[in-house]
Amino acid sequence: MKLNYKKFTFGKLLAFCLAACVVLIYGCSGSNNTDSKTGITRLDIISTETASFGGTKFGAVGTYDKIFAKAYGVVDPTDRRNALITDINLAPKNANGLVEYSMDVHIFKPTDMAKGNNRIFYDVVNRGNKGHSFFNDVGPNNPSTAADAGNGMLMRLGYTMVFSGWEDESLVAPGGDRALAKLPIAKNKDGSSVVENTITEVIFDAPTGNQIPLSYPAANLDQSQAKMLVHNHSKFGGTSLIDRVEVPKSVWSYVDNKTVQVDRKNAFLAAYDQGAAFEFVYPAKDPVVLGLGFAATRDVVSFLKNDTSNLNPIRNSIKYAISHGSSQSGRYLKGFLYWGFNEDSAGRMVFEGIQPKISGAHAIASNDRFGDSNATGRSYQRELSSKMEFPFTYEVRFDPVSVQTDGIFNRCQLTNTCPKIMHTDSGNEAFLKANNLVTTDGLGRDISLPQNVRVYLVSGTQHGPSATAAVTPTCQQLSNPNPHNEVVRALFVALDDWATKGVEPPPSQYPKIGDGTSVASLPQSNAFPKIPGVNYTGFYIPVAVKDKTSLPNMWMKGKEYVVTVPKTDADGNEVAGVLNPNVKAPLGTYTGWSLRRAPFAENEDCALTGQYIPFPLTKASRISTGDPRISIEERYPTKADYVSAVGKAVDDLVRNRYLLAEDGDKFKATAASKNIYAP
């Protein structure tokens, strides 16, 4: 059974050749098209709310207006900037031979633009949802009240906040004031549907539930043309259910062309627990031209920065655009840059600064036929559809594992449109997204970063910190509440200063192999202490060149990359990266990783969740349990000792620009309010 993966290698080769063509002749067919009829052609205002956020005034900037709009655009498929979009040649064309798209555009701008800071804060929406809460502490998709402003950071600094759709509305849950796009469907030249095998994966993680939604419609309901696979663990799980096994066709059936159901009570599945991974391979039809979403982002940001017509509601007021993207959206930003979309149709830079957050070394399948932008790898989940493959580094370099030469900067460096980069990860990405590959050669040696790239690991944090240390449905330990947003927003301010004023940012902070702070995950003595009641398996996501031509022989067919993880101290806390006050003056162990509990694929990774493991309160309890970590009463003989330790950590971070003073004050206030001796 063939899968739609061979084209990726060919596509990258074609992309490299086209990029080289830019340098040699800056042309090829149809290149350098600056036809004013391409890009954004209409921007229809749907609603405007003057003095939004309940009329709140944000310091000297004043009030903010909210604009919801729909943008319409076209691209020339023969322009070299668009020719790398997968299936752009199979997209429907209008009478002028151009490909059309539309998208939601949401803008929060100073009522008096003259009081703003002349910058766009562009947040890449995640499944249509806005991410300004990482900066303002709260951030609903359609804010209106004073409470919706949160701390008001972005407004107080005068940013014009822009959010626009890039994922097709057919692939994201509708409603909720999400910002989505309408992208065309690729069709064969004769008008028939494009059909290829693709894959959908799911873990139910519950005793109930039996339906698997398909991202793309099945071309037919013939069971003989599809197969379902099941497995329960990776090599770290230690069970006999690691290998993929085909599920008999009597156990599953089509509900319709967008849904498959599984008889989970069938005797065949009795050996598999609630954490079993189901993979469904089937002939899908009608792929969305996903890469057009990159062009839509490029075009709308360029339009808002540069268009001086009455179509543009913020005309003549923007000089720079700085972008932030979290998780899926961070992966999107790297794809946006890799495929050359930081150059607009006039050859100008779109974003002067980019902050990909919690993306690790992971790419995004947003320029692939039947691609799945949601797919991100786990130790035994989505191994087949996630895009964990070279290039991992920003620098263009030869990779001895895949035997390719490539890099995220491959295209932008040829057109002088590479932005300033602040790549920021949590501790989780070290284990689930192999973030050491961003800064190494793949064989276990550190590399030098390009001069316009900084990398930071916010140590001891999970992918998305929880509000409190809490019991979760599937994990063995309490979730990790150690925050990383405060560090991320301080770095964003530094990124702005770097990209627009040339002010050098804080130095990169991440574990390195050369200084012994990035190590092999095993043996445990080299990476994590033996804490009573806490399992440590040495888990991490292995990364290797995959054979992407057939199933089930698709996993780990080539040489593995060397994946290392952050070294920890005697407490189990990481020793390198940006150490926030909770790690510098700890009350427990904070990890980016955690393991599943039974009956949910026990001892597999618990995905995006980390752990908080409190220290023993007293010396007596430490000794009685055999906990190797020093107790709280031994660390902090008085409450003042703890408050002082937090204060010192805060002051160091603020002085070195890894923390804003206002956030530092919050850390100090929280420390002063805690009863650290209470269980």
- The string of DSSP codes covering 630-673 is PPHHHH-SSHHHHHHHHHHHHHHHHHTTSS-HHHHHHHHHHHHH
CA 254 to chain CA mean position, Å: 32
On whether the CB atoms of residues 74 and 38 are closer than 8 A, the answer is yes
What is the structure's pLDDT at 382? 74
Residue in 615, 511, 613, 609 with CA at minimum distance from that of residue 567: 511
CA dist 211 and 202 (Å) reads 9
Q: Is 615 helix (H, G, I), strand (E, B) or coil?
A: coil
On whether the CB atoms of residues 462 and 608 are closer than 8 A, the answer is yes
pLDDT, tens digit, 9 for 90 and up, residues 132-179: 999 999 999 999 999 999 999 999 999 999 999 999 999 998 899 999
Give the tokens for residue 498.
């770097």
On whether the CB atoms of residues 296 and 101 are closer than 8 A, the answer is yes
What is the structure's pLDDT at 237? 64
Give the tokens for residue 539.
């888990």
Question: Backbone dihedral region of 142: left (phi > 0), alpha (psi from -120 to 50 degrees) or beta?
Answer: beta
Question: Phi and psi (nearest 5°) for 595?
Answer: -120, 155
H-type alpha helices, 70-182: 133-136, 153-156
What is the structure's pLDDT at 545? 86
What is the structure's pLDDT at 325? 97
What is the structure's pLDDT at 378? 73
CA dist 382 and 286 (Å) reads 22
For residue 153, the one-letter residue type is: M
Q: What angle do CA 76, 79, 82 make, to 5 degrees?
A: 80
Task: Kindly list the distances between the CA atom of residue 167 and the CA atoms of 101, 123, 524, in Å, as whole numbers in the listed order.
Answer: 11, 14, 42
Residue in 251, 331, 333 with CA at minimum distance from that of residue 294: 333
What is the structure's pLDDT at 174? 85
Please list the helix, strand and coil fractions of the chain in percent, rounded to the nearest 5, in that order: 25, 25, 55
What is the structure's pLDDT at 7? 37
What is the structure's pLDDT at 233? 82
Q: Is 484 helix (H, G, I), strand (E, B) or coil?
A: coil
CA dist 415 and 201 (Å) reads 38
Q: Is 155 helix (H, G, I), strand (E, B) or coil?
A: helix
What is the structure's pLDDT at 34? 39
- Count CA atoms within 13 Å of residue 37 on its CB side: 8
Residue spans of the chain under pLDDT 50: 1-36, 552-556
Q: Is the peptide bond before 523 cis (omega within 30 degrees of 0)?
A: yes
Task: Kindly list the distances between the CA atom of residue 658 and the CA atoms of 326, 584, 623, 636, in Å, as whole numbers in the listed order.
Answer: 18, 14, 37, 25
Sign, CA dihedral 495-499-502-507, equals: positive
Cβ-Cβ contacts under 8 Å for 479 (sequence gap 6 or more): 462, 466, 469, 470, 471, 472, 594, 609, 610, 611, 612
CA 210 to chain CA mean position, Å: 28
DSSP H or E run through 296: helix 292-306
Q: What is the pTM of this model?
A: 0.93
